Structure 1
Amino acid sequence: MMPESDVDISQVKGNASPEVKRALLSSLQSMQPNNVSRSTGKPFRGFGAQFVSRMQITEASVLPMTEEPEKFEGRVVFEMIVDEDMLNGAGNMHGGCLAMMIDTCSTAPFYVLGAATRGQGVFGVSQSLNIVYHSPALPGDKLRIVNTTLALGSRALSSRCEVWSVTRHRLVASAVHINMVPSESSKL
C-alpha cells in the first residue's frame, strides 16, 4: 500500500479536507489485495479488485443535509468506463458487476463523513443492498456513481447510490445500502 502522503488527490473535487481525501483513497487502494490463488498458485487480486482499480473518485464532500441543515451528509462521486469484461451475454453491463461496484462505492461516504466529523472513517460490512435497475449500461458508457449517506450511527450506517450514464444521460441504477460496524470478536 502506498503511504498516504504519496496518494494523488489533485483530481478529487469537493470540500473534504486533503487529509480525508488522502485517507479515503489510501483505504480504497488497500481493499485491492494481491493474493495467491489456492487452486492455481497464481497471483489473484480478488473478485472486485480489477474493477475497483478502474474507478476514479471525482468528488469527496461533507455537506449540510437539505432536510435537516444542522446535520451533515457525506458525498462521494466515482466515475468509470464500462469495459467488455463487465458485460453479460446480452452485451450490457452485468447486474452482478454493477452490484459489486455499488456495494464498494456506497460505503465511501461513511468513511468521509466519519473522518470529517468524528476523526475516524469507517466502512462497515453489508447487511442489505437493495438495487433497482433502470436502464442498461453499454460498453464504452461513462458512468457517474453518486453516493450519499442517509444515516451514520455508532453501529448502523445507511447510504443511497445513483448510477448515471453520463454518455446517454440516463439513470442506470439506484440503491439503498445498509451497513453495520461489527463488534470486536470475543476470545473464547
Structure 2
Amino acid sequence: MDAPQQLLSISFPPSSEPFDVSKVAGNASPEIKERISNLHKFLHTFVPAQYKDVAFFGRSIQERFVVTEVSVLEKKDEPSKLEGRVVVELDVNEEMINGGGNIHGGCSAFLVDMCSSLAISTLGLATEGTQYPTVSQAINMIYHSPAAVGDRLRLVNTSMTLGNRAQSARTEIWNVTHSRLVASGTHIKMKPSAPPKANL
C-alpha cells in the first residue's frame, strides 16, 4: 500500500501586491490560496520577460478568471491520496464565441488547459512545497451544451495524478446561468525535456 500523502506547512515570500483571500473558499492554506488565486501574478510568473507586455493568445480571457475555491482533499476512492481542487468563474464574452454566438470549442479547450493546471499546482504546493513548469501532452474534450454571451461559467478543476514526469487533471465547465454542463476535459501534462547543451 502506498504511503499516505502528507500536507506540508509552507510559506512563501510576502507578496509585493497583497491579495485578499478572505472570499476564496476551500481548505487550502492562506499562502496557497494567495499563490493560486492571484492569477495575474501566478500566470505571469511563467511568461518570459520579452512577452510580459504582449497581447498573447488568451491573455484577455485569463485576466478575467476569478478563483472562488482552492482545496486539498482526500480522494474519495483512494483515501491515502490527495487531490487539488480549484474552482474558477468567468462570463462568456464576444471574444470567446464562434459564428453561431456560442462559446467556441477551441476556447473551451483553452479554459481546460489553463484552469486544470491550477489544480495540479495546488496539489504540488500542498504536498511538495513547489510547482513545476510543465507542458501539455494531450487534452481530450467532450462538448455537452452551448453557452452564449453573458452566461456565467463555473470551471471545476480536479487533479488526478502528480508524478515525477507526468501529471493529469480533469475539468468540468458548468453554465451557472442555465444549470447545465457545457464541456468536460482531461489534461495530461509533462515536465519539459532539458534543453540540449551547446557544443563548445
TM-score, with length taken from structure 1: 0.89
| Equivalent in the alignment of 2:109 | 99
CA contact (8 A) 1:125 1:180 kept: yes
SS of 1:164 mapped into structure 2: strand
Residues 32 and 88 of structure 1: is their aligned pair in 2 closer, same or farther, counting only changes over 3 Å? farther
Unmatched 5+ residue regions in structure 1? 37-42
Paired residues, number? 181
Q: Secondary structure in 1 aligned to 2:78? A: coil
Which of 162, 180, 187 is the aligned partner of 1:170? 180
Unaligned residue ranges in structure 2 (runs of 5+): 1-13
Q: Sequence identity, in percent? A: 48
Compare 163-172 and 122-131 and name the one that shifted more.
Answer: 122-131
Give SS of 1:70's match: strand
Aligned equivalents of 2:183 and 2:49: distance in 1? 30
Q: 1:30 aligns with which of 45, 59, 80?
A: 45
- What is the CA RMSD across the aligned residues, in angstroms? 2.0
Given that 2:133 and 2:192 are in contact with CA atoms closer than 8 Å, whether structure 1 keeps it comes out as no
Letter in 1 for 2:135: V
The Cα of 1:63 is off from its aligned counterpart by 0.1
1:53-84: CA deviation from partner (whole Å, max 9, x where unpaired): 00101011000000011110000000000012
Residue equivalent to 2:144: 134
TM superposition shift of 1:32: 6.7
Residues 109 and 185 in structure 2, CA contact (< 8 A), matched pair in contact too: no
Q: 1:144 aligns with which of 144, 150, 154?
A: 154
Give CA deviations for 1:42-61 in whole Å, capped at 9, x if unaligned. x6321111000001010110
- C-alpha offsets along residues 111-154 of structure 1, whole Å, 9 cap, x if unaligned? 00000011112351100000001001111111000000110001
1:28 shift after superposition? 2.4
Q: Distance in 1 between matches of 2:24 and 2:45?
A: 18
